[in-house]
Amino acid sequence: MSHSEDEDQDDAALFRAAIGEVKPIRQPQAVAPQKPRPRPRARMAERDEAEAHGEFARLLRDSAPLEAGDTASYRREQLPARLFQRLRKGQFSVQDELDLHGATAAQAEAMLRQFLLEAHAHEFGCVRIIHGKGMQSDGGVPVLKNLVDRLLRQRNDVLAFHSAPAAQGGTGALLVLLARK
């Protein structure tokens, strides 16, 4: 053994003595990439929608339908009467509108639900829903008018609605006052 080999072994021995006992590092096992988490869902809102849908079908069966010229009107108790009077007179600025003319009942229901979700997301206070008077409805009962009336009554985000003044659509449209977030 040469002199430099002795020094190398001494250096290695000195190093081991200086650092003490060591434990080998375990190699981490390969980790599979995790799938991205699903987007959160508004489960309570979905449940409310499902309950409202069942409730709507029952209401449509159990109550007398609105006729073409009938005024549709609804107010939650917590809404002050003076605000409801302003709504009846068309004194609120309409921030968006949905026209349901030509839609089937199923299409109208889906469109209305989506419209209200978007109106709520934009924090609109007053919207107009044009359902038509229902003069061409089978059997003379205005399907869309009754659908909209019953559906709006079931929604917690609807404070009040009333048939629009004649200049804004009359009994063929509703002004709807929405609750803010």
Q: How far apart are the first and last CA of the chain?
A: 86
Q: Has residue 75 got a pLDDT over 90? A: yes
Residue-range domain boundaries for the chain: 44-178
Q: What is the pTM of this model?
A: 0.65
pLDDT in tens, 101-142: 988 888 999 999 999 999 999 999 999 999 988 766 666 678
Q: Which residues of 21-52 are buried (b: 16+ CB within 10 A; e: fewer)?
A: eeeeeeeeeeeeeeeeeeeeeeeeeeeeeeeb
**Radius of gyration for the chain, computed over Cα atoms and rounded to the nearest angstrom:** 34
Residue 139 is predicted with a pLDDT of: 66
CB-count burial class (<10 Å; 0-12, 13-18, 19+) for 160: buried
Q: What mean pLDDT do residues 18-26 have?
A: 81
Q: Tell me which fold the domain 44-178 belongs to.
A: Ribosomal Protein S8; Chain: A, domain 1 (3.30.1370)
- Sign of the CA dihedral with 138 first, then 139, 140, and 144 last: negative
**More reliable by pLDDT, 163 or 65:** 163
Only one residue has tokens 């004649």, namely 166
**Of 56, 40, 163, whose CA–CA distance to 110 is shortest?**
56
Residue 119 is predicted with a pLDDT of: 95
